[in-house]
Structure 1
Amino acid sequence: MSEVVERWGSRRAFIIAVTGAAVGLGNIWRFPWMTGENGGAAFLLLYVVFLALLGLPVMVAEIMIGRAGRRTPMQALTFLARDVGKSRHWGLLGLFGGITLFFILSFYSVVSGWSIEYLVEAFTGGFASRTPQEIGSAFENFLASPGLVLLNHSIFLFLTMAVVASGVGSGLERLNNLLMPLLYLLLILLVGYAFTTSGFTTALSWLFKPNMSALTLTAIFNAMGHAFFTLAVGAGALMAYGAYMPDDQSLPRAVITVAVLDVAVALLAGIAIFSIVFSQGMDPASGPGLMFVTLPIAFADLPGGALWLGCFFVLLLLATWTSSINLAEPMVAMLGSAGLTRPLGALIIGVGVWLMGLPSALSFSIWSDVRLFNDMTLFDLATTLPIDIMLPIGGLLIAVFSVWVVAPPRAMEAIGAGERFYRVWRAVVRWISIPLLILVLLGFFLMK
């Protein structure tokens, strides 16, 4: 179990990489959809609270474990447990995280493939001459076409694994440095465009004036799951990145920077999307199809709508591409620790994820009649299981390991912010994050 050799080239590269893992479908697809269905600003407020009390402390814990162990997630957990005479079976938590990432990437690739199809449609003007009914029907027809959905799923997954196969320095770091600034630029341009629409002030009110009566138990569970999903916490991905972290970097400062950038992307995406929705008098609670049905309808009637809609789907594709690359990396690294070359590991993971994505891809067509657990479709199950169940469970176990297993001197050194910060962080994880995670998980299972 030797230490990893690769390192991020700079502190900036680490922050960009972790932000790349965090920023993706959670910010641009799931956040507007969840916010629209759960009361706007009330959901946002709850999401920020969970981010502060759960997401950030567990994020520090996960990166700290990777940095202290300087190994792949399974190896780091085993090494740190043995260091204090604890069971080597803690290493299985790394395997659980890898399985979680595997499930997430399987539906992630399918949904991201939709953005490829819509990117082409937007720039070729495919939505311009269609009525709202035709646009809505086009999305349904696309989902009901297994060949098209599988083609886009395959293209997206190939793009992802090709970069991962190139390695940390020549693959992940280079692409993150190129695409993340471009993503922010496109997002700022879209918000600038949203500012010129009549729905801009309504969108701001919707997002920043909480109506607490809109909060429900479902909204609470959704907000917690989203706080983990959007930060990529609970599955070991950040543990792998912590192993590559430069020695002279402040972990708390890096985590806060990533969290601020992550929330900023979600808010800017929300402002851009809801400004367009409200300017056209449409319903923000349109569910998962908000981005693929409501937005094309809204943009179709606006000046230069085809161009701006195309820019939006470029933004979505860039965000999901960088995020999926960063989600796949820990799985390939695990196979690398077992002696496989990086290209072979990327091929094995890619084929496995493609196969696991078939239920999600075909749940709108060939397997549309299949229902499981509370009448859930295969796609519903593929998104609910890893996000609302596996990520929080993984986060809970990571939190327990970080404060009750890792030796305090080693943890304090890996966090690198002094004894006072370490004591405050440890108290928050022990007496706030862990109990809150247990309560919310129990509530989720009791409701289901």
Structure 2
Amino acid sequence: MHETLERWSTRRAFILAVTGAAVGLGNIWRFPYITGENGGAAFLVLYVAFVLLLGLPVMMAEIMIGRAGRRSPMQSLGHLAARSGASRHWRWLGLFGAATVFCILSFYSVVSGWSIEFLVAAINGDFRGASAADIGAGFDAFLADPARLTFNHSLFLAMTLLVVAAGVAKGLERLNNLLMPLLYLLLVLLAGYAATTEGFGVALGWLFLPDFSALTPLVVMHAMGHAFFTLAVGACALMAYGAYMPDHQSLPRAVGAVAVLDVAVALLAGIAIFSVVFSQGLDPGEGPGLMFVTLPIAFAELPWGALWLSVFFLLLLLATWTSSINLAEPMVATLQGWGLRRGLATAVVGVAVWSLGMLSVFSFSSLAETRVLFGMNPFELVSTIPPEVFLPLGGLLIAIFAAWVMPEEAARYALDVGPGGFRLWRGVVRWVAIPLTLVVLVAGLS
């Protein structure tokens, strides 16, 4: 396959696209509850440190490979491996990445569909005056209703694939240019509202005044794993975006901007969520139910709560939408590398992802007690193994390929930081990021 002719039209478009890929459930759903479970500020300090030492170097490696290859992930890896005299079997890493995002998008679409249901419920004021027991029972009833889950899963997936089918310039770029500024506007509005609540000061102290005595090896592992997960690295998805990167853009500056924007989303979401939670005297360590049970309870008791809860679920929907597009793109790019037109490739991906996602839909009802592997039902399996095992394994192999295998001149050109900057990056990847990624992988396997 020849080099792709598609490019992001501007440097800003590339940064917004990669930020849209990174910002999603990891920032707005997973970050608040995992921070709540792991002691607040001490976890936050570790998370930011691991973003710098682990997430950013591997993210740069992944984008760099795509930029140097200017092809689909599978084709780029094979082309660069051939240039360096290495085995062309490295191209199968691109297929492994596509399989990883295939599994992840199947459950991601189902969970993201929940935000559609809750957005409509919040707009309708369904949570106003409801007790905690009523809201919890309502959530359980929703999960047990495969027809409602199927509708939301199908709608969300259709929203995603319609954008991907339109291509880089007309689809992905236009949507990111519109939605990412809107997402940050909604976040700032929510944080501004949080500043008016009684729990705002408590939330700031809890998030930004660390108590390092609360740290345990498990908290360190969670911080390391979340830093890896939140930047969307390890599945060759950013490799696909790197292939469309403008020729004269600084990769380190772009990735640095993405990291700042990504962490800012997590912090603003945390401030907004924990201010509301503390205002109502609720537990910040409620786990995954924090988003869909605890928050509706908390907002229901606050002035203008229904409005701000609607804003929050709109924010969640926008974030998961831009992120899911990133998950679909490498699969479509891989099929395009095999000769399929973009429209047909998108349709094939859509049917396959929807079908696998139906196993997750029924995992809350008829398949709830079905144990597929490791004592897990289908939803538990695809929402655990790919993010916790496949992503770190993919990230490890990407880092090894970028730092040890691909031609040095191609790496230098794609990274574009000068001799000293290249040596620093390669040293950090070889001796810091790769060992840390290996630790994340071992933890996921244990």
Shorter-chain TM-score: what band?
over 0.9
CA distance in 2, matches of 1:439, 1:228: 11
Structure 1 stretch displaced more, 305-314 or 373-382: 373-382
Q: Identity, % of aligned pairs?
A: 66
Q: Which residue of 2 aligns with 1:159?
A: 159
Q: Which residue of 2 aligns with 1:277?
A: 277
Gaps spanning 5+ residues in structure 1: where? none
- Cα deviation 1:70-89 (Å, max 9, x = unaligned): 11100000000000111000
CA distance in 2, matches of 1:440, 1:258: 22
- Cα deviation 1:261-319 (Å, max 9, x = unaligned): 00000000000000000000001111111110001000101111111100101101111
- Cα deviation 1:315-364 (Å, max 9, x = unaligned): 01111111111221111111112111111111111111111112322222
Q: Residues 444, 318 of structure 1: CA spacing in aligned structure 2 closer, same or farther, 3 A cutoff?
A: closer
CA distance in 2, matches of 1:344, 1:149: 26
| Pairing of 1:301-340 with structure 2 (within 5 A) | 301-340=301-340
CA distance in 1, matches of 2:213, 2:100: 34
Q: Is the 1:221–1:388 contact (alpha carbons within 8 Å) kept by the matching residues of 2?
A: no
Q: Which residue of 2 aligns with 1:248?
A: 248
Structure 1 stretch displaced more, 433-442 or 94-103: 433-442
| Pairing of 1:368-379 with structure 2 (within 5 A) | 368-371=368-371, 375-379=375-379
Shift of 1:378: 3.1
CA distance in 2, matches of 1:43, 1:362: 34
Shift of 1:252: 0.2
Q: Is the 2:225–2:440 contact (alpha carbons within 8 Å) kept by the matching residues of 1?
A: no
Shift of 1:224: 2.4
Report the residue type matching 1:421 in the other structure.
Answer: G
Report the residue type matching 2:199 in the other structure.
Answer: G
Q: What's the C-alpha RMSD, in Å, of the aligned pairs? A: 1.2
CA distance in 2, matches of 1:374, 1:336: 35
CA distance in 1, matches of 2:376, 2:41: 28
Q: Secondary structure at the match of 2:384?
A: helix
Q: Which residue of 2 aligns with 1:63?
A: 63
CA distance in 2, matches of 1:323, 1:402: 24
CA distance in 2, matches of 1:156, 1:425: 38
CA distance in 1, matches of 2:81, 2:437: 23
| Pairing of 1:15-26 with structure 2 (within 5 A) | 15-26=15-26
Q: Residues 359, 216 of structure 1: CA spacing in aligned structure 2 closer, same or farther, 3 A cutoff?
A: farther
CA distance in 2, matches of 1:179, 1:110: 21
Q: Which residue of 1 aligns with 2:199?
A: 199
Gaps spanning 5+ residues in structure 2: where? none
Shift of 1:228: 2.0
Q: Which residue of 1 aligns with 2:292?
A: 292
Shift of 1:443: 4.0
Structure 1 stretch displaced more, 205-214 or 400-409: 205-214
1:260 lines up with 2:260 in the alignment: yes
1:435 lines up with 2:435 in the alignment: yes
Q: Residues 68, 356 of structure 1: CA spacing in aligned structure 2 closer, same or farther, 3 A cutoff?
A: same
| Pairing of 1:5-44 with structure 2 (within 5 A) | 5-44=5-44
Q: Is the 1:17–1:172 contact (alpha carbons within 8 Å) kept by the matching residues of 2?
A: yes
CA distance in 2, matches of 1:374, 1:206: 36
Shift of 1:371: 3.7
Q: Secondary structure at the match of 1:363?
A: helix
Q: Is the 1:51–1:227 contact (alpha carbons within 8 Å) kept by the matching residues of 2?
A: yes
CA distance in 1, matches of 2:199, 2:387: 32
Q: Which residue of 2 aligns with 1:97?
A: 97
Q: Is the 2:63–2:238 contact (alpha carbons within 8 Å) kept by the matching residues of 1?
A: yes
CA distance in 1, matches of 2:393, 2:259: 21
- Cα deviation 1:195-224 (Å, max 9, x = unaligned): 000111111111112223333343333322
CA distance in 1, matches of 2:8, 2:304: 41
Q: Is the 2:203–2:274 contact (alpha carbons within 8 Å) kept by the matching residues of 1?
A: yes
CA distance in 1, matches of 2:39, 2:241: 35
- Cα deviation 1:25-78 (Å, max 9, x = unaligned): 110011111111111112212211221111000011001100011111000000
Q: Residues 226, 129 of structure 1: CA spacing in aligned structure 2 closer, same or farther, 3 A cutoff?
A: same
Aligned length, in residue pairs: 446
Report the residue type matching 1:347 in the other structure.
Answer: A
- Cα deviation 1:381-410 (Å, max 9, x = unaligned): 222111111111111000100011111111
Q: Which residue of 2 aligns with 1:84?
A: 84
CA distance in 2, matches of 1:233, 1:347: 25
Q: Which residue of 1 aligns with 2:176?
A: 176
Q: Residues 84, 324 of structure 1: CA spacing in aligned structure 2 closer, same or farther, 3 A cutoff?
A: same
TM-score scaled by structure 2? 0.98
CA distance in 2, matches of 1:108, 1:183: 19
- Cα deviation 1:79-131 (Å, max 9, x = unaligned): 00000111000000111111111111111101100000000000001110311
Q: Residues 174, 440 of structure 1: CA spacing in aligned structure 2 closer, same or farther, 3 A cutoff?
A: closer
1:218 lines up with 2:218 in the alignment: yes
